[in-house]
């Protein structure tokens, strides 16, 4: 009896999967592709979500899907693709304003601040929904060497809550605590190592002073003892350390200034991230 | 021919016996048949959807789980190819230093690139005078024992200190925070 039951069970088990595969396992159907893409999007797997959505769009037009493709690329940092997809969304679409927001946000995030300002100036629309782009427009000045607009104009788009922070950034940009390259060079020329200490490299400055001073003492001592060859060798080393330190002080001041700029831009980016670049949050995963 | 006919007869008799007389053998044969039918459609199904799923698209990650030593601080390039006259002389001295002294002495420079490589790269990027000044500065900095939190690290623990920071060209300075790690490969 048991062998017969086994045979019957095996017979049915080989029959049913065939049925399942045709009815439920059609992952090529457009609805299943979209479901899978939605799942990937909500699981933050944006690259694969975008590819699945693109596959879906080859069969059907859907502006929500286009927008989500743009969002996916934007969230993984592929801004050129994101810009391309946001640009595709038509003006009569319900997502046109959001797409424009995201288009400019992606342009900003890609670091193309000059084109951001150029396209923005060409496409200004008196529309409340994209007015927050004014804020990004002014923020772009923090990332370029261009002269900042007057403070009052700059603060105009921001509300009272934001104003303090923006004022602080404005102050840091207009008066950065840079170190003067010329001052570092002059200081190191007068007292070896002092230029490095001025730029914050205290250990390097002290070592440079010791190396130059020690070589100076050894050169003096050897000349005094009539060991002229050794005296000249140490004189050469003085020149080596002295000149190297003056050059290094100039480089150190430049690196210090680059660090100030780097930290400033990092802080601005952090703030922009906290504010989501003044664009709304979209909840497609409810 | 006769032998073949005899074999055929024997085979048929044997099969007849298996199918009609021996119940256990019959069960095993049917079991194997059904089991195989049950298995193969699954394989086909996998093949059918391979084009549309990520199995093929993303492929297998070629990752070795065996422990690997971190890459050495720097590869030595002894070649003089592409060097001009001055570069050939300078590189020859550096090659001789690497071969006879540095490689024997061991990995003592705490920087990446090492001081000798830094000198070569500095001269190649700028000129002999500026390159020498850059090297003098680097050499002084190398004497400083308290540089722990001033430089980012590469994967093998050396301090990352590229030539580009010291050419006095502001546009090529790329700041890397000291607490970060740099992949030099």
DSSP string, A119-162: HHHHT----GGGTTHHHHHHHGGGGSSSPPPPHHHHHTTS-HHH
pLDDT at B36: 76
Residues of B within 8 A of A270 (CB-CB) are: none
pLDDT of residue A72: 94
Q: What is the pLDDT of residue B35?
A: 78
B143:A14 CB<8 A = no
Smallest CA–CA distance from B141 into chain A, residue: A204
* Chain A residues closer than 8 Å to B145 by CB: 203
Contacts of A14 in chain B (CB under 8 A): 34, 37-38, 41
In the sheet that B159-160 helps form, which strands lie side by side, from edge to edge?
B111-112, B159-160, B153-154, B181-182
Nearest to A7 among B30, B41, B139 (CB): B30
Length of chain A in terms of residues written: 286
CA atoms within 13 A on the CB side of B180: 7
Kindly tell me the burial class for residue B32, based on how many C-beta atoms sit within 10 Å of its own C-beta (0-12, 13-18, 19 or more): exposed
Chain B residues in contact with A241 (beta carbon < 8 A): 136, 140
Q: What is the pLDDT of residue A125?
A: 61
Mutation pick from B49, B110, B130, B144 vs chain A, by most beta carbons of A within 10 Å, is: B144
- Among partner residues A17, A204, A258, which is closest to B140 by beta-carbon distance? A204
How many angstroms away from the CA of B163 is the closest CA of chain A? 11
Cβ–Cβ below 8 Å for B41 and A18: yes
* Contact flag A248-B141 (C-beta cutoff 8 Å): yes
Asked if residue A203 lies in contact with residue B146, where contact means CB atoms within 8 angstroms, the answer is: yes
Cross-chain residue pair A21–B45, CB shorter than 8 Å: yes
Digit-coded pLDDT (tens) for B147-165: 878 899 998 889 999 999 9
- A262–B175 CB contact, under 8 Å: yes
- Whether residues B140 and A211 touch (CB distance < 8 A) is answered with yes
A245 CB neighbours in chain B (<8 A) are 136-137, 140
* Distance, CA of A101 to CA of B48 (rounded, Å): 42
Q: Which residues of B touch A (CB under 8 A)?
A: 27, 30-31, 34-35, 37-38, 41-42, 45, 49, 52-54, 57, 130, 133-137, 139-141, 143-147, 150, 165-166, 168, 170, 173, 175, 177
Q: What is the pLDDT, as a whole number, of residue B66?
A: 66
- Helix, strand, coil fractions of chain A, as percent rounded to 5: 75, 0, 25
Domain ranges of chain A: 30-110, 113-175, 181-272
Q: How far is B43 from chain A (nearest CA, A)?
A: 12
Instruction: Copy the structure tokens of residue A286.
Output: 């409810």
CATH code of the domain made up of A30-110:
1.25.40.10
At residue A253, the pLDDT reads 96
Residue A200 confidence (pLDDT): 93
Residues of A in contact with B136 (CB under 8 A): 240-241, 243-245, 247-248
CA A57, chain centre distance (Å): 30
Q: Which residues of chain A have pLDDT under 70?
A: 1-3, 6, 10, 13-25, 124-131
pLDDT digits (tens), chain B, 185 positions = 778 788 878 877 877 777 676 777 777 878 888 877 766 655 555 555 555 555 555 555 566 666 665 555 456 778 877 777 888 888 888 888 888 888 888 888 899 899 999 999 999 899 999 999 999 999 999 998 888 788 999 988 899 999 999 999 988 999 999 888 888 76
For B94, residues 6+ apart whose C-beta sits below 8 A from its C-beta are B116, B117, B119, B120
ipTM: 0.74
In angstroms, the separation between the Cα of residue B5 and the nearest Cα of chain A is 35
């Amino acid at each position: 009896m048991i062998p017969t039951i086994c045979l019957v069970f095996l017979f049915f088990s080989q029959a049913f999967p065939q049925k399942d595969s045709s009815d439920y396992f059609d992952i090529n159907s457009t609805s299943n592709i979209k479901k899978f893409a939605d799942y990937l999007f909500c699981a933050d797997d944006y690259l694969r979500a975008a590819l699945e959505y693109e596959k879906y769009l080859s069969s059907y037009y859907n502006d929500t899907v286009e927008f989500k493709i743009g969002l996916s690329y934007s969230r993984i940092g592929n801004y050129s693709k994101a810009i391309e997809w946001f640009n595709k969304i038509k003006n009569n679409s319900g997502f046109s304003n959001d797409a424009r927001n995201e288009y400019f946000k992606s342009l900003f995030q890609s670091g193309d601040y000059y084109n951001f300002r150029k396209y923005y100036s060409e496409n200004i629309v008196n529309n409340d929904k994209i007015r927050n782009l004014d804020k990004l427009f002014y923020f772009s000045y923090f990332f370029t060497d261009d002269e900042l607009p007057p403070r009052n104009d700059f603060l105009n788009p921001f509300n009272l809550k934001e104003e303090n922070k923006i004022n602080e950034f404005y102050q840091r940009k207009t008066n950065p605590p840079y170190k003067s390259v010329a001052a570092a060079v002059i200081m190191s020329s007068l007292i070896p190592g002092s230029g490095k200490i001025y730029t914050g490299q205290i250990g390097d400055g002290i070592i440079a002073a010791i190396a130059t001073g020690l070589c100076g003492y050894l050169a003096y001592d050897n000349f005094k003892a009539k060991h002229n060859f050794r005296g000249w060798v140490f004189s050469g080393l003085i020149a080596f350390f002295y000149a190297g330190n003056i050059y290094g002080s100039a480089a150190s001041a430049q690196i210090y200034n680059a660090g100030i700029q780097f930290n400033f831009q990092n802080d601005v980016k952090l703030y922009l991230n906290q504010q989501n670049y003044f664009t709304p949050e979209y909840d497609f995963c409810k | 021919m006769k032998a073949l006919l005899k074999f055929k007869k024997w085979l048929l008799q044997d099969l007849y016996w298996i199918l009609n007389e021996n119940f256990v053998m019959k069960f095993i044969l049917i079991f194997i048949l059904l089991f195989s039918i049950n298995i193969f459609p699954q394989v086909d199904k996998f093949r059918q959807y391979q084009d549309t799923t990520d199995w093929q698209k993303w492929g297998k990650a070629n990752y070795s789980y065996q422990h690997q030593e971190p890459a050495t601080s720097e590869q030595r390039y002894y070649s003089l190819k592409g060097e001009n006259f001055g570069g050939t002389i300078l590189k020859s001295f550096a090659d001789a230093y690497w071969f006879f002294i540095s490689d024997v002495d061991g990995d003592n420079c705490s920087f990446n690139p090492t001081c000798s490589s830094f000198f070569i790269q500095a001269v190649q990027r700028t000129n002999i005078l500026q390159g020498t000044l850059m090297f003098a500065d680097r050499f002084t900095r190398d004497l400083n024992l308290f540089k722990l939190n001033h430089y980012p690290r590469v994967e093998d623990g050396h301090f990352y200190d590229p030539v580009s920071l010291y050419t006095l060209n502001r546009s090529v300075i790329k700041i890397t925070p000291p607490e970060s790690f740099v992949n030099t490969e």
